[in-house]
């Protein structure tokens, strides 16, 4: 898209910087907030599917991307998972925030197949691979990771009605088309965490997400299918603002 099409978005970001007095610096790689997740103590979790996708930083390669992330984010260790949630491949290429996240230092929540005995579910192979990688590594502090399995909702798919009017328009503009019958990347991992509370996804009128949060954490559950139709979820349409740096 022409650069001027993003002028309002760019200006909004600058206004936020001015209002908060935040420190800002330019980084040499392109990533999205949902493509990285940190424990705040030197460890980052990412997916190869996303960060190594040719649409982002093909000239850097895995070692180059890891070096930049460590330098700019003050990291000591990066844990590379294989893929993101099944169905999350066509738009954001397997964002980790929809699949695996730190819920405390040394503890990760991992999206798990709704039926772990359904070996035909593409989520099964992805989750098993991630579980093995996480089980056979440590964080930056040398801790073995505690892995909390969070079952995904039953597989859901974009309806013809939900895709109506978008298919041709997206093709014409060069966007990834929204295809009827396409699996949606539904999980309960993608959430927004605030001080003392969290906003969680409520997909298919099911609520599994509380199981992996602090029981004292206040939660709000929102129906997020409309967001999910555009390859995102709660975390993708929110942004935490640190009180201070």
To the query of whether residue 236 is one of the catalytic residues in this protein, the response is: yes
**Phi, psi dihedrals of residue 185, rounded to the nearest 5°:** -85, 60
SS3 of 56-112: the string is CCCCCHHHHHHHHHHHHHCCCEEEEECCCCCCCCCCCCCCHHHCEEEEECCEEEEEE
> Strand 218-223 and strand 197-202: pairing?
parallel
Q: What does the H/E/C string look like for 156-182? A: CECCHHHHCCCHHHHHHHCCCCCCCCC
Mean pLDDT of 18-26: 82
Overall size of the chain counted in residues: 245
Task: Please give the pLDDT value at position 206.
Answer: 46
Of these residues, 100, 101, 152, 236, which one is catalytic? 236
**For residue 6, what is the DSSP state?**
G
51-74: pLDDT as tens digits = 999 988 999 999 999 999 999 999
| Whole-angstrom distance, CA of residue 125 vs CA of residue 148 | 17
Q: What is the pLDDT of residue 85?
A: 93
Could you give all domains of the chain from N- to C-terminal order, each with its CATH number? 32-237 (3.75.10.10)
pLDDT at 175: 61
Q: What is the pLDDT of residues 192-244, one digit of tens each?
A: 888 888 888 876 444 444 545 667 778 888 887 888 887 788 888 887 776 65
pLDDT number for residue 11: 87
If you average pLDDT over every residue of the chain, what do you get?
Answer: 84
Contacts 24+ apart (CB under 8 A), 160-165: 162/229
Beta bridge partners of 193: 198
What's the token pair of residue 22?
A: 């935040």
Enter the pTM of the model: 0.86
Q: Are 94 and 100 in contact (CB under 8 A)?
A: no
What is the model's pLDDT at position 4? Answer: 54
Instruction: Determine the pLDDT at residue 193.
Output: 84
Both structure tokens of 233: 């979820």
Element (H, E) at 123: helix 122-135
Other CB atoms closer than 10 Å to residue 156's CB: what's the count?
16
Lowest mean pLDDT across 15-24, 136-145, 164-173: 164-173
Taking only the tens place, the pLDDT of each residue in 106-115 is 999 999 998 8
| Across 178-201, average pLDDT | 85
Answer positive or negative: Cα dihedral of 233, 236, 239, 240: positive
Choose from 7-21, 49-63, 175-189, 191-205 the range with maximum mean pLDDT.
Answer: 49-63
Return the pLDDT at 134.
Answer: 98
> Would you say residue 12 has pLDDT above 70?
yes
CA dist 20 → 4, 58, 192 (Å): 25, 34, 20
DSSP 119: T
């Amino acid at each position: 898209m022409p650069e001027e099409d993003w002028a309002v978005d760019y200006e909004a970001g600058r206004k936020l910087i001015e209002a908060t007095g935040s420190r800002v610096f330019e980084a040499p790689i392109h990533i999205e907030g949902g493509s990285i997740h940190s424990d705040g103590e030197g460890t980052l979790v990412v997916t190869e599917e996303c960060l190594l996708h040719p649409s982002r930083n093909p000239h850097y390669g895995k070692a180059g991307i890891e070096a930049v992330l460590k330098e700019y984010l003050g990291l000591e260790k990066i844990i590379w998972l294989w893929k993101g949630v099944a169905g999350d491949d066509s738009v954001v290429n397997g964002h980790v925030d929809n699949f695996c996240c730190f819920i405390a230092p040394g503890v990760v929540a991992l999206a798990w197949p709704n039926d772990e005995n359904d070996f035909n579910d593409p989520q099964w192979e992805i989750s098993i691979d991630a579980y093995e990688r996480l089980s056979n590594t440590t964080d930056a502090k040398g801790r073995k990771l505690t892995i909390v399995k969070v079952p995904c909702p039953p597989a859901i798919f974009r309806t013809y009605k939900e895709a109506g009017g978008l298919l041709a328009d997206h093709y014409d503009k060069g966007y990834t088309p929204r295809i009827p019958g396409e699996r949606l990347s539904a999980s309960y991992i993608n959430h927004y965490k605030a001080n003392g509370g969290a906003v969680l996804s409520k997909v298919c009128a099911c609520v599994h997400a509380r199981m992996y949060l602090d029981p004292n954490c206040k939660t709000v559950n929102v129906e997020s299918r409309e967001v999910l139709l555009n390859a995102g979820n709660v975390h993708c349409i929110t942004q935490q603002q640190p009180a201070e740096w």
